[in-house]
Amino acid sequence: MRWSRRTAGAPSFKPTWRGESGTAGSKTSGSSPRMPPTRTRTTPGRRSSSNVRRASGCVGLARSQGEPAHCLAHVGKRNTFRGMSRRVLCSRLFLSAAMASGCAPDRDTPPQSVHAPDQPLASVAPPEHVPSAADLETVIEEDADDRAQLHALHRHVWVRSAPSTNAPWLGFLGLGSSVPLRDPEPIPGPGCDAFYAIEPRGYVCLDNRATLDPDNPALLAIRAIAPRRDQPWPHHYAESRQAPRYEQLPTLEQQRQREFQLDQHLATVAALRSGDPVGEVPFLLQDVDVALTGEPAPSFLASLPKVHEHVTTVKAGSSLSYAHAFDAGGRAWLVTGDGVLIPRDRVAPYPRSLFQGALLGESEVLPLGFLKEQSRPQYVRGSDGTIVPRGADWPRLASFGLTGQRVEQEGVTYLETRDGLWVNASEVTEVRASPVTPWGEAVQGPGLHDEVRWSRTGNVPPAGPRRTWVEVSVHEGWMIAYEGTRPVLATLVATGRGEPVEPGSKKLQTSTPPGVFSVLGKYWTSTMAVNSTAHFDVPFAMPYFGAYALHAAYWHDKWGEKVSLGCVNLAPIDARWLFLWAEPSIPEGWQGMRVTSETGAATVVVVHA
């Protein structure tokens, strides 16, 4: 997947991101320490928000030529994801997000352990209400000070290190985001008549991708589909059922030209909507919401500029993001995160995984046990000292503290929980901290692992007082976040499938490689694609090595399992926590940034078996 083109105001590049595949989840259960308070205000009609090279894995940012990755290109006349597999097409980075609402835990409350008593956890939320235009009251203010601001009208408004379009890029602004100016006076430079110095660093060209006018009609329209960065789900998400993308509301005849057997499809939708018998529901309509919304088309569509991907059809099985739903011409429509229209009867909404890890401290310490894949029985110790079933189960993805006590009975090992229960050791993922940091200091806390599972050769502590690092176990499917010698978060993750690949095979390498790395960049959302399948607007991506990244996965709920194409998948609540916690911090209002020697300490990423 390599592609190069030049867009006005942007450099040339050959981007490649590798995506993950999966399905909507089953059963699961957020928030974050150190999250800055969210400023809100009531304003109708507004909402807030290298060359990349192919490698074995999911997503990454190569440093050659210092150029940013961009967007999905059109492929000749076959401008669809279906055409991506044979005609080399890039996957696009950094698509700005649509908003999401509801179902999120209190964002000012740190994530707690998913403790499971006798009742099962309701760990997957149903697809949430999709906002209409009347719901646009809350605005996330990028910065509430009184200084003049520059506002982004495009997915990629590049932040340069100097007032020149030839200068290296430091990051970029996204749809509808705003940043204060360091100096209100423009600076002319190569490639642009007016650069502005923005906070906290860098320069942005004031061209048709940006504006200084906060009341610009295009800006107000864009903010209606802009990211919700105060949520673990910056968008609403769904699986495509061969969804066509329209730049504007199409006529019925235009729909017939684009959608195969449309009349038959609409007749089936109408029958399902009214409850009439249809026999076996067609595969492409299974799990699809065929109801009308009762909402009119939002007024902001008339002012929305063209900021969308150059893709006309989203292949069945791909994932997409959307911001709003409304009715027109007898069909329900979705407004996507990049401002195009998709029939709602062509997508199946994903439920939200509410799973989250355990924030560690005085009341919660390692070791912890997590249950993955399925529910597991609880055991108690009888009066004669034997371990017997309790007659109750822990639900899938439950977690609990472990005392470290083990009992062998008839060839089975049982672990004691801090609640006085017992669990079969073969059915639990036991999370223990490493005995040392990557640079050799002793880790604090009880229940440490008895061995170091990576090479410590040449590793040095990260700069800065926090010395943040994360440890990922590929085979056991967990992650621990540390500040220096202190573990602060433990959770389950999903790692690479690791199918064997024969020499010369065209199959993808899907293992998650071990090693000691560091965060290379931070992107609130990024669209990832591999071959003909894509995931739009994947949240909280942090590349750390080649084409591999830590990022949220909204399309599955298989935490602790090997289901990715090589990246480290996190549940959305955990992913947002990690994104805001990890170093360096992304500047307020920026959509993405690259890590350089000037951005400060970068979180170390340790991956081992």
User: Looking at the domain assignment, is residue 173 inside a domain?
Assistant: no
Handedness of CA 67, 595, 547, 372 (dihedral sign): negative
> Strands 562-564, 412-417: parallel, antiparallel or unpaired by DSSP?
unpaired
Structure tokens at 331: 């069909």
Q: Quick one: which of 20, 1, 13, 4 has its CA closest to 86?
A: 1
pLDDT band at 547 (very low <50, low <70, confident <90, very high): confident
Whether pLDDT at 26 is above 80: no
User: Looking at the domain assignment, is residue 1 inside a domain?
Assistant: no
Provide the pLDDT for residue 130.
54
pLDDT band at 501 (very low <50, low <70, confident <90, very high): low
**Mean pLDDT, rounded, for 550-555:** 98
Whether pLDDT at 383 is above 90: yes
**Mean pLDDT, rounded, for 540-552:** 96
User: Looking at the domain assignment, is residue 151 inside a domain?
Assistant: no
Provide the pLDDT for residue 484.
96
Provide the pLDDT for residue 144.
54
Residue 222, φ and ψ in degrees, nearest 5 = -65, -35
User: Looking at the domain assignment, is residue 222 inside a domain?
Assistant: no
Share of the chain above pLDDT 70, in %: 74
For position 549, which CATH number holds?
2.40.440.10
pLDDT digits (tens, 9 = 90+) for 524-540: 999 998 877 899 999 99
User: Looking at the domain assignment, is residue 134 inside a domain?
Assistant: no
Handedness of CA 112, 117, 122, 124 (dihedral sign): positive
pLDDT band at 124 (very low <50, low <70, confident <90, very high): low
Q: Quick one: which of 76, 125, 177, 17 has its CA closest to 592?
A: 177
Do residues 272 and 279 touch, judged by C-beta distance below 8 A?
Answer: no
DSSP assignment letter at 298: P
Q: What is the mean pLDDT of the chain?
A: 80
pLDDT band at 17 (very low <50, low <70, confident <90, very high): very low
Whether pLDDT at 101 is above 80: no
Structure tokens at 244: 């066509």
Claim: this prediction has a pTM higher than 0.95: no
Q: Quick one: which of 561, 564, 516, 509 has its CA closest to 541?
A: 564
More confident residue, 99 or 390: 390
Secondary structure of residue 160 in the 3-state scheme: strand
H/E stretch holding 548 reads: strand 548-552
Whether pLDDT at 460 is above 70: yes
Whether pLDDT at 157 is above 80: yes
Structure tokens at 589: 């209002």
User: Looking at the domain assignment, is residue 535 inside a domain?
Assistant: yes
User: Looking at the domain assignment, is residue 261 inside a domain?
Assistant: no
Whether pLDDT at 231 is above 60: yes
**Mean pLDDT, rounded, for 346-371:** 96
Q: What are the residue ranges of helices labelled H in 439-512? A: none
d(CA 73, CA 521): 23
Secondary structure of residue 75 in the 3-state scheme: coil
Whether pLDDT at 297 is above 70: yes
In terms of residue numbers, what domain contains 376? 358-608
**Mean pLDDT, rounded, for 500-527:** 85
**Mean pLDDT, rounded, for 59-73:** 30
Do residues 132 and 324 touch, judged by C-beta distance below 8 A?
Answer: yes
pLDDT digits (tens, 9 = 90+) for 75-99: 222 333 333 332 222 333 333 332 2
Q: Which three-class secondary structure string do you get for 235-292? A: CEEEEECCEECECCCCCHHHHHHHCCCHHHHHHHHHHHHHCCCCCCCCHHHCCCCCCC
Cα angle vertex 336, ends 334, 340, to 5°? 90
User: Looking at the domain assignment, is residue 170 inside a domain?
Assistant: no
How many domains are contained in the chain?
A: 1
